[in-house]
Protein backbone atom coordinates (compact mmCIF):
# COMPACT_ATOMS: atom_id res chain seq x y z
CA UNK A 1 0.00 0.00 0.00
CA UNK A 2 1.30 3.41 -0.90
CA UNK A 3 0.23 6.97 -0.33
CA UNK A 4 -0.11 9.45 -3.18
CA UNK A 5 -0.15 13.20 -2.61
CA UNK A 6 -2.39 15.43 -4.66
CA UNK A 7 -1.67 19.13 -4.33
CA UNK A 8 -4.70 21.25 -5.26
CA UNK A 9 -4.07 24.44 -3.27
CA UNK A 10 -5.14 27.39 -5.40
CA UNK A 11 -7.70 25.37 -7.33
CA UNK A 12 -11.34 26.28 -6.83
CA UNK A 13 -14.18 23.79 -6.80
CA UNK A 14 -15.01 21.58 -8.60
CA UNK A 15 -11.37 21.09 -9.66
CA UNK A 16 -10.09 19.40 -6.46
CA UNK A 17 -12.74 16.67 -6.86
CA UNK A 18 -12.18 16.45 -10.64
CA UNK A 19 -8.45 15.93 -10.07
CA UNK A 20 -8.99 13.52 -7.20
CA UNK A 21 -11.23 11.43 -9.43
CA UNK A 22 -8.55 11.34 -12.16
CA UNK A 23 -5.83 10.45 -9.64
CA UNK A 24 -7.96 7.70 -8.10
CA UNK A 25 -8.54 6.13 -11.50
CA UNK A 26 -4.81 5.51 -11.89
CA UNK A 27 -4.17 4.14 -8.40
CA UNK A 28 -4.23 0.47 -7.40
CA UNK A 29 -6.96 -0.53 -4.94
CA UNK A 30 -5.89 -0.21 -1.31
CA UNK A 31 -3.69 2.83 -1.90
CA UNK A 32 -4.41 6.12 -0.20
CA UNK A 33 -4.75 9.55 -1.80
CA UNK A 34 -3.82 12.53 0.35
CA UNK A 35 -5.58 15.59 -1.07
CA UNK A 36 -4.39 19.02 -0.01
CA UNK A 37 -6.98 21.67 -0.83
CA UNK A 38 -7.88 25.25 0.05
CA UNK A 39 -11.29 25.57 -1.61
CA UNK A 40 -13.74 26.03 1.28
CA UNK A 41 -16.54 24.28 -0.56
CA UNK A 42 -14.28 21.22 -0.76
CA UNK A 43 -14.89 20.52 2.94
CA UNK A 44 -18.39 19.49 1.85
CA UNK A 45 -17.78 18.31 -1.72
CA UNK A 46 -14.80 15.99 -1.11
CA UNK A 47 -16.24 13.99 1.84
CA UNK A 48 -19.50 13.68 -0.11
CA UNK A 49 -17.66 12.45 -3.20
CA UNK A 50 -15.80 9.89 -1.05
CA UNK A 51 -19.01 8.72 0.64
CA UNK A 52 -20.89 8.41 -2.64
CA UNK A 53 -18.11 6.24 -4.06
CA UNK A 54 -17.70 4.14 -0.95
CA UNK A 55 -14.11 5.31 -0.34
CA UNK A 56 -13.15 5.32 3.36
CA UNK A 57 -11.71 8.60 4.69
CA UNK A 58 -8.80 7.70 6.96
CA UNK A 59 -7.79 11.26 7.89
CA UNK A 60 -9.34 14.73 7.64
CA UNK A 61 -7.59 17.71 9.19
CA UNK A 62 -7.41 21.45 8.96
CA UNK A 63 -3.83 22.40 8.15
CA UNK A 64 -4.33 26.11 8.80
CA UNK A 65 -6.51 29.06 7.86
CA UNK A 66 -8.58 27.87 4.88
CA UNK A 67 -6.26 24.91 4.26
CA UNK A 68 -7.27 21.31 4.64
CA UNK A 69 -5.97 17.82 4.04
CA UNK A 70 -8.08 14.72 3.53
CA UNK A 71 -6.91 11.16 3.03
CA UNK A 72 -9.15 8.92 0.97
CA UNK A 73 -8.56 5.22 0.42
CA UNK A 74 -9.34 3.51 -2.85
CA UNK A 75 -11.56 0.68 -1.72
Partner 1 sequence: MLISGLIIGAALGFVLQRGRFCVTGAFRDIWIAKNTWWLSAFFVAIAVQSVGVWVLDALGVITLSASDFPWLATILGGFIFGFGIVLAGGCATGTYYRAAEGLVGSWFALLFYALFASISKYGPLGSTTEALRGITVEGQGTLHETFNVSPWLLVALLVVGTTLWARHHITKPRLKFATLPPEKTGLAHVLFEKAWNPFVTAAVVGLIAIAAWPASWATGRESGLGITTPSANIATYLTTGDVELVDWGVFLVLGIFVGSLIAALGSGEFKLRVPDAQTIVRSIAGGALMGVGAAWAGGCTIGNALVGTSTFSWQGWVSLVVMILGTGVAAKLFIAPRKKTAAPAQVPAGV
Q: Which residues bind partner 1 (CB under 8 A)?
A: 1-7, 10-15, 17-19, 21-23, 26, 32-33, 38, 40-41, 43-45, 47-52, 57, 60-62, 64-68, 70
CB of 22 to partner 1, least distance (A): 4
d(CA 55, CA 25): 13
Tell me the closest approach of the beta carbon of residue 75 to partner 1, in angstroms.
13
Which residues pair with residue 32 across a beta bridge?
3, 73
Q: Note if 13 is an active site residue.
A: yes
Residues serving a catalytic function are 13
Amino acid sequence: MAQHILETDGLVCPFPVVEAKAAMAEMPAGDELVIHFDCTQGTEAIPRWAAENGYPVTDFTKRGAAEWSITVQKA
